[in-house]
């Protein structure tokens, strides 16, 4: 059996975990053809190591309609000056990669996603116990529940949406953004209008991508997202940070400007 | 070549007889009578429906049916609508178009659901099929207005272009202008899913004006209210109309113009659209309401009293889609006014709110079930339910064929007795003997599945979430539901035993989806090995399943029968459980 190295490597991305899990018993001759995806990821790890400490900024979430994320942050001037060549290895533009790494502000995802976890138990972490039916459920967003199609998700919030793009202009008030985590094999779509604060957004992202962060968040506790020095601590200690690309093409750290 | 028996008809006669047989099931039955009927039938089949695009390959289809004129295909599993199927999963139409371009030059109709359609595919369609008439893309994605422009420019005989709920990339608003001025054959146009700037209104007006056979027109949200009258006056023969935004500053001249335009549409039977409604403009449609049989108000965020007023004007209503703003009081009004109602869908206005924001409860549904004797099809989102309400509904409406109930909080029990809703749903399946589709919700134990397995003999599609206790639940369904074709399950503690014990059943079904359940990788492999005519696909975003113990549950599992063998267009997070060796096939 393989063991995963638990040494908290700086900015250890998902992809390393991914690699250590390629088992040795893939000896069947049918499977010798290397997956191009793994090769790309391997390259990224090397690049990242070469960059040393650095915030690897990925491309911000572009939404489905080909529009760039218009989150209202366009006017911001605040930027983090970060070391390292932030553009290296972003050949994935064509793939529309979103956030390169996601901060797990909420801690303790390790227990949920290790292999062999009973999915029911995983599920219980998301929802309150059914023995307390009188209380309304916490606002935990279970993926795909309730089963409404994306454009129905936010009809309640009233539609001053004419000025903002929605995923499908013909429906609803959603502000969809594609989010990807570096090394994660797929993208997720997030409707920004479902959240009112950065903490909610980060919660949701953490849950969405929790299967990719492997127990390295340790006991960080909840960090003040807006506090820059704490943020740097976080970056040094934790795995992922959310970033986006503003209309000028600059990489911005999510959380620099007020949510609205 | 079989020697013709003295008493058999010449082929041409049989062909003529078969031409009256349209339903797929009957056609399939005909083809199984004998070899010569099989041969005759396959040469004269014109229409084919493929419920899972991976169940068969284009080559197999073409080999058997050389003269097809109309193709309908479905791609992704239903749960893709709720973001449970990661992007890149599959469902690409291009390989089909490529093959059909060569084999079916006279293809007329393509209808797709949940497939990935690229501009390249659309361009190929436009180029390859000279007599192309019908393009319906439901819940599809991957294309842009450029692809639509190609269709518009080349398909001289196009009658129907329906983009219902598809995701279209906004590139240019002028694709409509690509319909040549000589083009007049449009019968049906649904562009309601297009984004803000994607339609040039003047091109639309001209198009509408020169197509006298236009019967269905569904506009997108960007079309302002004051343009509706213009459009309607050019197409008073419309039978189905979808507005754009139905909001504007209230002005008497605009109102009377609008009302006048609607009243000239004597054939109008179906209305939809109604984004951003200003209630004061609703009376403009009253003149047509008495004939309206289908009303889609599911985007209209208007309050109950306005909805009631509207609904009371529509005594012929057969189909209503509405938000839960209608509330119980509105549903009671519906029950008294609309005695022909057959289908009701109530959508949640605030699906993620912790507390209900409107007064819509189980009572509304009970009222409709009592007052509307023809009610057959229900989709209902609400926050609370009781067993007794469900029993009532079942007893009132044994003619239900589709019953989909979504209690928004998972695992919510009967709010009065705090018991599971097993008995309530049990009553539904027991009384509604023709029930074909059922979606469950609320707190449910294995018992509900026992009821379903025992009574739901006509059930074809079942959707289950956060329900059941053990494999016994799944076993009841798989062993009892004789007509089951599609089963989709999420977040239930069903594991290996029921699945493996009922492996043969899976070959009689179109597909099985299980996500966040307890089916182990080992069981998937076993199933893949033992059942060569099933494709057992594991979707797992944590990396290759064999990098974890065999007992580890897979994230998502999609099993479907296929004569085409495993597919090769899988993304990296999908693995097929091969029937040869026990090796994984990495894509």
Which residue from B330, B316, B317, B319 is spatially nearest to B360, judged by alpha carbons? B330
Contact B311, B335 (CB under 8 A): no
* Alpha-carbon gap, residue B164 to A54, rounded angstroms: 46
Contact B539, B555 (CB under 8 A): yes
* Alpha-carbon gap, residue B558 to B574, rounded angstroms: 10
Judge: B169–A116 Cβ closer than 8 Å, yes or no: no
Judge: A65–B170 Cβ closer than 8 Å, yes or no: yes
pLDDT in tens, B505-546: 999 999 999 999 999 999 999 999 999 999 999 999 998 988
Q: Is B120 in the A-facing interface, judged by CB distances under 8 Å? A: no
* Alpha-carbon gap, residue A111 to B5, rounded angstroms: 74
pLDDT in tens, B540-581: 999 898 899 999 999 999 999 999 999 999 999 999 997 664
- How much is the pLDDT for A113? 36
* Average pLDDT value over all residues in chain B: 94
Say if B289 falls within a structural domain: no
Mean pLDDT confidence for B492-498: 96
Instruction: Tell me the chain A residues in contact with residue B408 when contact means C-beta distances shorter than 8 Å.
Output: 146
Whether pLDDT at A24 is above 70: no
Q: Is B170 in the A-facing interface, judged by CB distances under 8 Å? A: yes
The total number of residues shown for chain B amounts to 587
- How much is the pLDDT for A193? 65
Q: Shortest Cα distance from B181 to chain A (angstroms)?
A: 27
Which residue from B90, B22, B34, B95 is spatially nearest to B61, judged by alpha carbons? B95
Judge: A143–B84 Cβ closer than 8 Å, yes or no: yes
Say if B14 falls within a structural domain: yes
Judge: B220–A169 Cβ closer than 8 Å, yes or no: yes
When pLDDT is cut at 50, 70 and 90, the band that residue A156 belongs to is low
Q: Where is pLDDT greater, at A239 or B516?
A: B516
Instruction: Tell me the chain B residues in contact with residue A143 when contact means C-beta distances shorter than 8 Å.
Output: 82-84
- How much is the pLDDT for A69? 36
Say if B152 falls within a structural domain: no
- Considering only the beta carbons, identify the residue of A30, A119, A172 that sits closest to B553: A119
* DSSP 8-state assignment for residue A10: T
Contact B319, B355 (CB under 8 A): no
The SS3 call for residue B381 is: strand
Instruction: Tell me the chain B residues in contact with residue A37 when contact means C-beta distances shorter than 8 Å.
Output: 572
Say if B34 falls within a structural domain: yes
Q: Where is pLDDT greater, at B468 or B587?
A: B468
Planar angle of CA B405, B409, B412, nearest 5 degrees: 80
pLDDT in tens, B336-395: 999 999 999 999 999 988 788 899 999 999 999 999 999 999 999 999 999 999 999 999
Whether pLDDT at A71 is above 70: no
- How much is the pLDDT for B330? 97
Say if B28 falls within a structural domain: yes
Judge: A152–B351 Cβ closer than 8 Å, yes or no: yes
Nearest chain B alpha carbon to A153:
B351
Whether pLDDT at B131 is above 70: yes
Say if B25 falls within a structural domain: yes
Write the DSSP assignment of B461-525 as a string of letters.
Answer: EEEEES--SSHHHHHHHHHH-TT--EEEEES----HHHHHHTHHHHTTSSEEEEESS--BHHHHH
- How much is the pLDDT for A211? 52
Please state whether beta strands B534-539 and B556-561 pair in parallel, antiparallel, or not at all (unpaired). Answer: antiparallel
Which residue from B65, B36, B32 is spatially nearest to B48, judged by alpha carbons? B65
Q: How many helices (H) and strands (E) does chain A have?
A: 6, 4
As given in the structure block, the two tokens for residue A248 are: 């000028």
Contact B146, B120 (CB under 8 A): no
Instruction: Tell me the chain A residues in contact with residue B351 when contact means C-beta distances shorter than 8 Å.
Output: 146, 148, 152-153
Dihedral (C-alpha) B195, A157, A204, B138: value to the nearest 10 degrees? Answer: -30
- How much is the pLDDT for B64? 97
* Alpha-carbon gap, residue B43 to B65, rounded angstroms: 6
- How much is the pLDDT for A209? 63
Whether pLDDT at A75 is above 80: no
Surface of B (290-329) touching A: CB under 8 A: 298-299, 301, 323
Please state whether beta strands B134-138 and B160-162 pair in parallel, antiparallel, or not at all (unpaired). Answer: parallel
CATH number of the domain bearing residue B23: 1.20.1280.50
Question: Can you name the CATH fold of A15-27+34-43+174-259?
Answer: Ubiquitin-like (UB roll) (3.10.20)
Mean pLDDT confidence for B307-329: 96
- How much is the pLDDT for B583? 44
* Alpha-carbon gap, residue A209 to A241, rounded angstroms: 12
Percent of chain A at pLDDT exceeding 90: 2
- How much is the pLDDT for A89? 35
pLDDT in tens, B264-317: 999 999 999 999 899 999 999 999 999 999 999 999 999 999 999 999 999 999
* Alpha-carbon gap, residue A90 to B109, rounded angstroms: 42
Which residue from B317, B328, B254, B258 is spatially nearest to B290, judged by alpha carbons? B317
Whether pLDDT at A183 is above 70: no
As given in the structure block, the two tokens for residue B307 are: 């909805």
Say if B360 falls within a structural domain: no
Contact B27, B65 (CB under 8 A): no
Whether pLDDT at A100 is above 60: no
Domain positions in chain A are 15-27+34-43+174-259
* Site from A98, A145, A164, A210 to mutate, B interface, most B CB atoms within 10 angstroms: A145
Least confident window among B155-164, B195-204, B257-266, B461-470: B195-204
* Alpha-carbon gap, residue B57 to B63, rounded angstroms: 10
- How much is the pLDDT for A187? 59
Whether the pTM exceeds 0.90: the reply is: no
Whether pLDDT at A135 is above 70: no
Q: Is B417 in the A-facing interface, judged by CB distances under 8 Å? A: no
Q: Shortest Cα distance from A81 to chain B (angstroms)?
A: 33
Whether pLDDT at B162 is above 60: yes
The SS3 call for residue B3 is: coil
ipTM value, please give it.
0.88
When pLDDT is cut at 50, 70 and 90, the band that residue A252 belongs to is confident
- Considering only the beta carbons, identify the residue of B463, B541, B583 that sits closest to A185: B541
When pLDDT is cut at 50, 70 and 90, the band that residue A155 belongs to is low
- Considering only the beta carbons, identify the residue of A33, A144, A185 that sits closest to B82: A144
Q: Where is pLDDT greater, at B493 or A227?
A: B493
Say if B177 falls within a structural domain: no
For B39, the domain range is 9-45
Percent of chain B at pLDDT exceeding 90: 91
Q: Is B336 in the A-facing interface, judged by CB distances under 8 Å? A: no
Least confident window among A68-77, B164-173, B565-574: A68-77
> Residues with Cβ < 8 Å from B508, sequence gap 6 or more?
B484, B561
Instruction: Tell me the chain A residues in contact with residue B587 when contact means C-beta distances shorter than 8 Å.
Output: 35
Judge: B585–A31 Cβ closer than 8 Å, yes or no: yes
Which residue from B4, B148, B101, B87 is spatially nearest to B571, judged by alpha carbons? B87
Number of domains in chain B: 1
- How much is the pLDDT for B207? 96
């Amino acid at each position: 059996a393989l063991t995963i190295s638990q040494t908290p490597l700086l900015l250890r991305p998902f992809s390393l975990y991914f690699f250590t899990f390629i088992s040795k018993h893939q000896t069947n001759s049918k499977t010798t053809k290397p997956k191009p995806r793994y090769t790309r990821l391997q390259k990224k790890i090397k690049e990242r190591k070469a960059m040393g400490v650095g915030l690897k900024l990925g491309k911000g979430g572009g939404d489905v309609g080909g529009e760039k994320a218009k989150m209202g942050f366009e006017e911001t001037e605040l930027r983090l000056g970060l070391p390292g060549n932030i553009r290296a290895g972003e050949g994935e533009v064509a793939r529309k990669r979103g956030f390169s790494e996601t901060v797990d502000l909420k801690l303790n995802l390790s227990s949920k996603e290790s292999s062999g976890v009973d999915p029911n138990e995983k599920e219980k972490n998301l929802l309150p116990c059914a023995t307390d039916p009188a209380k309304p459920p916490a606002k935990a967003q279970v993926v795909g529940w309730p089963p409404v199609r994306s454009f129905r998700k936010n009809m309640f919030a009233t539609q001053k949406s004419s000025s903002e793009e929605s995923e499908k202009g013909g429906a609803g008030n959603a502000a969809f953004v594609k989010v990807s985590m570096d090394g994660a094999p797929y993208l997720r779509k997030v409707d920004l209008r479902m959240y009112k604060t950065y903490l909610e957004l980060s919660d949701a992202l953490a849950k969405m991508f929790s299967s990719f962060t492997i127990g390295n968040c340790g006991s960080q506790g909840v960090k003040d997202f807006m506090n820059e020095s704490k943020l740097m601590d976080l970056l040094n200690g934790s795995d992922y940070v959310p970033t986006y690309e503003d209309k000028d093409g600059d990489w911005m750290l999510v959380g620099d400007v007020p949510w609205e | 070549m079989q020697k013709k028996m003295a008493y058999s008809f010449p082929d041409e006669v049989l062909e003529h007889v078969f031409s009256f047989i349209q339903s797929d099931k009957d056609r399939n039955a005909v083809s199984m009578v004998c070899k010569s009927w099989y041969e005759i039938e396959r040469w004269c089949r014109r229409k084919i429906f493929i419920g899972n695009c991976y169940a068969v390959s284009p080559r197999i289809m073409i080999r058997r049916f050389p003269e097809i004129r109309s193709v309908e295909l479905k791609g992704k599993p239903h749960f893709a609508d709720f973001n449970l199927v990661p992007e890149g999963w599959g469902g690409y139409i291009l390989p089909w178009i490529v093959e059909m371009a060569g084999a079916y030059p006279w293809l007329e109709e393509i209808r797709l659901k949940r497939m990935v359609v690229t501009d390249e595919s659309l361009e190929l369609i436009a180029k390859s099929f000279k007599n192309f008439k019908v393009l319906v893309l439901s819940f599809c994605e991957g294309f842009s207005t450029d692809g639509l422009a190609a269709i518009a420019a080349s398909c001289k005989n196009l009658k129907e272009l329906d983009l219902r709920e598809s995701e279209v990339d906004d590139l240019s608003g002028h694709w409509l202008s690509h319909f040549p001025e000589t083009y007049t054959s449009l019968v049906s146009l649904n562009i309601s899913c297009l984004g803000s700037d994607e339609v040039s209104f003047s091109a639309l007006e001209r198009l509408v004006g020169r197509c006298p056979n236009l019967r269905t027109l569904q506009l997108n949200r960007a079309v302002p209210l004051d343009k509706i009258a213009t459009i309607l006056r050019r197409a008073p023969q419309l039978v189905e109309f979808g507005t754009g935004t139905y909001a504007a500053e209230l002005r008497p001249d605009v109102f009377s113009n609008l009302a006048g335009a609607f009243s000239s549409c004597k054939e109008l039977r179906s209305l939809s659209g109604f984004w951003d409604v200003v209630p004061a403009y609703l009376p403009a449609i009253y003149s047509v309401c008495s004939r309206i049989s289908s009303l889609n108000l599911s985007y209209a965020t208007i309050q109950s009293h306005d909805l009631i007023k509207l609904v009371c004007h529509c005594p012929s209503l057969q189909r209503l889609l509405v938000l839960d703003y209608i509330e119980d009081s509105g549903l009671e009004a519906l029950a008294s006014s609309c005695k022909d109602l057959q289908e009701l869908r109530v959508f949640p206005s605030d699906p993620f709110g912790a507390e209900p924001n409107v007064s819509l409860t189980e009572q509304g549904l009970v009222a409709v079930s009592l007052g509307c004797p023809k009610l057959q099809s229900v989709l209902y989102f609400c926050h609370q339910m009781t067993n007794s309400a469900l029993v009532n509904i079942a007893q009132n409406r044994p003619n239900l064929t589709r019953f989909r109930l979504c209690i928004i909080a998972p695992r919510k029990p009967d709010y009065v007795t705090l018991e599971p809703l097993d008995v309530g749903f049990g009553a539904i399946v027991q009384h509604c003997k023709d029930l074909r589709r059922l979606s469950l919700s609320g707190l449910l134990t294995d018992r509900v599945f026992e009821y379903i397995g025992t009574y739901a003999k006509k059930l074809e599609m079942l959707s289950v979430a956060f329900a059941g206790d053990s494999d016994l639940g799944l076993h009841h369904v798989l062993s009892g539901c004789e007509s089951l074709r599609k089963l989709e399950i999420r977040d239930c503690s069903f594991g290996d035993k029921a699945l493996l014990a009922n492996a043969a059943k899976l070959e009689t079904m179109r597909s099985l989806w299980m996500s966040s359940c307890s089916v182990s990788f080992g069981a998937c492999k076993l199933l893949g090995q033992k059942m060569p005519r099933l494709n057992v696909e594991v979707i797992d975003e944590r990396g290759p399943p064999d990098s974890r113990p065999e007992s580890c549950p897979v994230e998502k599992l999609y099993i479907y029968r296929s004569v085409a063998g495993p597919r090769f267009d899988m993304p990296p997070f999908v693995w097929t459980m091969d029937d040869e060796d026990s090796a994984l096939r990495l894509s």
